[in-house]
Amino acid sequence: MTETSPVAILGHAVSTTLIFLLITATNAVFADNCPAVDCGCAELSDNHFRTQCFTQEKRLKEACADNNKQPTNYCHIQGRSATPSLLKLVLGPVITLNDDQIENLESNIETMTWSLRDDMSNMINAEASGEFKKALGWQKSFAQTRERMFATHRQMAESWLTIGELDDANAIWEQAANDAMTYGVQLLEHGKSLQEKQDASESNKKAYAVLALRALRNAGKEFERAGEAFRAHGEFEQSAQAWEQAAKASILIADWKAQHDSEERVVNFYRSQASSRFYQAAMQWSIAGDNTNVDLAVVNAEKHLTLKL
């Protein structure tokens, strides 16, 4: 057997180290060539989708670097913290609370629930009486209250989880998911009725169009919230179904915009948003082990991906 000299061993070690440093440096340069693009790929648990995400992110970063470090497209296969994103749900940091503080928030949830009922009732009454500016105000109030309500549910659930009370955390997430699905369906149906009123109206088409668009966009966001809440307590099939509902809300808007001669870029935005939502559904179906629905969701995602990479 031929002995390897210490010099040869040292030379090999140096070469290996240099190669490692070169690869590391190359990756660092690549990662920094467009910090405005970060698809959150490392957050994805599915190896297949994580690999696809990194491939997509690489192309986006390269295009961004060639465009003066300005993104040219959105992440479509993405983690929860991705940017730029077509998804509406933004999950910021959570300040966790102790058990007494968590229980005190229950009354806040009850107050917000009553406020939402009033906002919805006032909005519908204002629309019926032709007071469209007031209706828009009530619609905005409803959306803002829902933003606070979901954030409160999330803070409560994450706090219970930190304390170690898994059952309490899951109960809060279940409540948040069911609330979001309920409001999502309400807003979706209301948006559809406003679309019909726009088509039938002679003098208030623009007002109905504005209200309908907001209702449908808010419906899509509610379904995103439901998807996140179901995911958070392990209901992956229901999470996937919620994300598919969100995608269908985007398709409804895109089709409506196309029928009313909107700019192609606007129509494409909502179709691509549907694509991103279908990819989220596919990833949840994957976690649930339902490969048939994974394939169907991916087909739908690719079908609506009009903002090509």
Identity of the amino acid at 71? P
Contact 309, 290 (CB under 8 A): no
Mean pLDDT in residue range 300-308: 82
Model pLDDT, residue 261: 81
Query: Quick check: is 50 in a domain?
Result: no
% of the chain beyond a pLDDT of 90: 83
Confidence at residue 33, expressed as pLDDT on a 0 to 100 scale: 79
Whether 37 maps to a domain, the answer reads no
Going from the C-alpha of 272 to that of each of 11, 19, 38, 116, 267, the distances in angstroms are: 52, 40, 18, 30, 9
**Res 6: pLDDT:** 47
Judge whether 225 and 150 are in contact, CB under 8 Å: yes
Q: Is residue 88 part of a domain?
A: no
What mean pLDDT do residues 13-27 have?
43
In this predicted model, what pLDDT tens digit does every residue of 209-253 receive, in sequence order? 999 999 999 999 999 999 999 999 999 999 999 999 999 999 999
Average pLDDT over the chain, rounded to an integer: 90
Q: Which of 5-9, 179-183, 219-223 has the lowest mean pLDDT?
A: 5-9
Q: Which of 1-10, 50-59, 86-95, 261-270 has the lowest mean pLDDT?
A: 1-10
pLDDT band (50, 70, 90) for residue 27: very low
Amino acid letter, 66: D
Residue 5: pLDDT band (50, 70, 90) is low
Tokens of 263: 């700019």
Average pLDDT over residues 111-124: 97
Amino acid (1-letter code) at residue 131: E
Take residue 260 and report the two structure tokens written for it: 């009313």
Within a domain: residue 239? yes
And the tokens for 146? 């829902």
What pLDDT does 2 receive? Answer: 46
Range of the domain at 206: 99-303
Over residues 200-205, the mean pLDDT reads 91
Burial 66-97 (b: 16+ CB within 10 A, else e): eeeeebbbbbbbbbeebebbbbbbeeeeeeeb
**pLDDT bucket at 32, cuts 50 / 70 / 90:** low
| Phi, psi (rounded to 5 degrees) for 178 | -65, -40
Q: pLDDT band for position 177 (50/70/90)?
A: very high
* Domains of the chain: total: 1
**pLDDT tens-digit readout, 39-97:** 999 999 999 999 999 999 999 999 999 999 999 999 999 998 999 999 999 898 999 99
Whether 13 is in a domain gets the answer no
Instruction: Examine residue 2 and state whether it is found in any structural domain, yes or no.
Output: no
Residue 85 pLDDT: 95
Position 52 in a domain: no
pTM above 0.85, yes or no: yes
45-51 LR contacts (CB < 8 Å, sep 24+): 45/287, 46/283, 46/286, 46/287, 48/286, 49/77, 49/279, 49/282, 49/283, 49/286
Joined tokens for residue 93: 């940091």
Report if residue 291 sits inside a domain.
yes
Q: What are the tens digits of pLDDT across the range 123-164?
A: 999 999 999 999 999 999 999 999 999 999 999 999 999 999
